[in-house]
Chains A and B, each alone.
Chain A
Amino acid sequence: MDQTEFLFQILLPVLMEGLVITLKLIVLTAPFGLVLGILVAVGRVYGSKPVSLLCKGAVAFIKGTPLLLMLFILYFGLPSVGITLSAFVASLVGFIMCNGAYNSEYIRGAISSVKEGQIIAAQALGMTRMQAVRHIILPQALIRAIPGLSNEFIYLIKYSSLAYMLTVIELTGAGKMVATKYFEYTEVFVIVGAIYLLLVTITTIAAMLIERKVAVPGMTQSGRNMLDIL
């Protein structure tokens, strides 16, 4: 069997199947992670004391423990209290929690960068506090949080490989199977790495385009400048 045959007949078909799983994990995690991040950030900054503390505690817990450990608890630990999740769902839940927790930190930082006058002006127009947060504060915060959020999305692409530890055969797992079977470790993992690099590069460019699209004069400059350098 020559290298070309190995590459096209054996390796790539398996990797493509793994890639589909990886993409599913990412695409299903990201929107929920974003929504969770927004809710937790708003809860922390504008919630009542108990809500704020709860959000803060949850974020501290997730930030303070390895993601892999959390995945193990979700998959291997929860059945003992009667909750059985499939490996895929357990991975999703773990990723959404992790993604949401870190997103909330970026969004919280962006919220506190919005000038206090913005919410005062909104309230003076008769908006409730929550209306002001939703229509005035959050849009501004999200524009400013894009670099951080896209960074977190890139982390997600890479830590999605941890699903392999729960037996989900995603990209890395698929590569590992082929590598072990054919003793082609270097070649396989270089190609797997190249695919991750491609995903990350696409994300980076997409993030820059989004940043440029939503750029508001006086609020953001970075998007335009970054793209000019490209």
Chain B
Amino acid sequence: MENTETILRVENIHKSFGDLEVLKGVSFDVKKGETICFIGPSGTGKSTLLRCINLLTQPDQGSVWLGDGEVTNSGKNIDYFRQRIGMVFQNFFLFDHLTAVRNVEIALIKVKGMKPKEAREKALHELRQVGMEEWAEHYPAELSGGQAQRVSIARALAMDPDVILFDEPTSALDPELTREVLEVMKKLAQAGMTMLVVTHEMGFACSVANRIMFMEHGEIKEQGSPDELMNDTKFERCKNFIGQFSDISGD
């Protein structure tokens, strides 16, 4: 990787819900243009970790830095950081009352203060990037899950974020729709977008990620490049976890 500038720094994030300690001190750095996949069993805090990065969930302890700015403790400035940190959700969360193109342009107009005409052009451009331009005038309810997720990726992209967080973007989709979404994400990764992806798609993680973080019980247990995790003997736990998937798909 040419550019090794650290764009996102996560330090010692702790989060509990009641008595349940979901995150037990998670730290990592993200370099510009990197794609990092978080894998691991359900309920180990992967999604909570992503939400702690843009403070949709307030961490109990620890800090998040975007470039030189501290996201945690940013007070009212959090809205600025959220513009710079895109997010794509498992259930899309498209705005139900707006067409695809309005979904993409509304934050450009209301948050960035862009002129409607300019915002429309940008929104259509982003929809084209994800292959959804001809669906611009359709409402979310008229789209398939895969199409809706691609629109929500366009919505995140339109803000020109420094990094995009993907929270299980394909978990609500069937295999065919999953593929169309993963294709888009792969293209983004190759274009140099910085991405943090919580996923159960091992194939995607292994082929696209620069680094894989294996999380269990609120901690990053093992991390490395896909090659290292698959082949190095010191990464037993992760390999077993991935192995379960290979067994199922192997027959």
Contacts and interface: CB of A to CB of B under 8 A. Distances in A.
Interface stretch (B26-34, B90-98, B213-221): B90-98
Contact of A117 (B89, B111, B156): B89
A131 interface: yes
A126 interface: yes
B8 interface: no
A220 to B, nearest CB: 9
Interface in A114-173: 115, 117-118, 120-128, 131, 135-136, 139-140, 143
* Chain B contact patch, size range: 20 to 34
A118 B95 contact: yes
Contact of A121 (B79, B93, B110, B139): B93
A218 interface: yes
Contacts of B141: 216-219
Contact of B93 (A117, A127, A139, A218): A117
B159 interface: yes
Interface string B91-121: 1011111000000001100110000000000
- Of the listed residues B86, B89, B106, B107, the one surrounded by the most CB atoms of chain A closer than 10 A to its CB is B107
B140 interface: yes
Interface string B214-240: 000000000000000000000000000
B154 to A, nearest CB: 12
A135 B106 contact: yes
B97 A125 contact: no
A130 to B, nearest CB: 11
A137 to B, nearest CB: 10
Given A126-B82, A126-B159, A127-B111, A120 B56 contact: yes
B93 A123 contact: no
B54 interface: yes
B245 to A, nearest CB: 28
A178 B38 CA distance: 81
Contacts of B142: 217-218
B80 interface: yes
B89 A121 contact: yes
B194 interface: no
A125 B102 CA distance: 14
B159 A140 contact: no
B87 interface: yes
Contacts of A123: 56, 79, 82
A145 to B, nearest CB: 13
B46 interface: no
B72 interface: no
Contacts of B95: 118, 121-122, 136, 140
Contacts of B56: 120, 123-124
13 contacts: A115-B93, A115-B96, A121-B89, A121-B94, A122-B107, A123-B79, A123-B82, A124-B54, A128-B79, A131-B111, A140-B95, A217-B141, A217-B142
